[in-house]
Amino acid sequence: MEPLILNINHRNYQIFQVEKNETLLSVLRYRLDITGPKEGCSTGDCGACKVLLDGVAVNACTTLAHRCAGKTIITIEGIADAGNLHPLQTAFVEKGAVQCGFCTPGMIISAKALLDVNPKPSRDEIRKALDNNLCRCTGYVKIVDAIEEAAEMMRKDDHE
Ligand code: FES
Ligand code: FES
């Protein structure tokens, strides 16, 4: 069987003996030890496992690994820039949008996918972008606040 080559966080990985039905989440967490994407429901319902696949937020638990060959995969580990936290990560901490933290990687991935195409979203647009991300702890308001704050920080950075 040919090894599967996946580009993850700007680096190529060669993975051997990948079964046709093996998910991207399984490859990330259990073969490559990339554990930022969390395993919650494993059925595509909670969003804890989200990654960016060619810039689109997808659930890694319902994405087959071999379908990701030739695509760009970014996990939460890959969104910081040269060791500096991404503005979304900073804003989540500052706004108290992280409690247990289990949903946070998926939330930030969904938010990044939104801000990459819509730098100034309304609160409704933010809520819509998170409609596949569940959080048991925060009540969502602080998460929406954090994404608004990050969007503002990113717009300022763009103008500097
Ligand atoms: S673990 Fe993938 S959506 Fe819940
Ligand atoms: S912070 Fe605990 S599930 Fe969201």
Question: Model confidence over 73-126: pLDDT tens digits?
Answer: 999 999 998 889 999 999 999 999 999 999 999 999 999 999 999 999 999 999
For the chain, give every residue range classified as CATH 3.10.20.30: 4-78
For the chain, give every residue range classified as CATH 1.10.150.120: 87-159
Cβ(48) – ligand 2 distance below 6 Å:
no
Closest ligand relative to 28 C-alpha: 1
Residue 4 and residue 2: Cα distance in Å, rounded? Answer: 6
Averaged confidence pLDDT in the chain: 96
**Cβ 129 vs Cβ 110: under 8 Å:** yes
Closest ligand relative to 107 C-alpha: 2
Cβ(41) – ligand 1 distance below 6 Å:
yes
65's tokens: 């690994």
Give the mean model confidence (pLDDT) for residues 125-129.
98
Question: Model confidence over 68-77: pLDDT tens digits?
Answer: 999 999 999 9
Residue 53 and residue 41: Cα distance in Å, rounded? Answer: 20
Q: Looking at the CA of residue 49, tell me the nearest atom of ligand 1.
A: 2
Q: Select from 3.10.20.30, 3.40.50.2020, 3.40.50.300, 3.40.50.920 the CATH code of 4-78.
A: 3.10.20.30
Cβ(42) – ligand 1 distance below 6 Å:
yes
| pTM attached to this predicted model | 0.96
Q: Yes or no: is domain 87-159 CATH 2.40.10.10? A: no
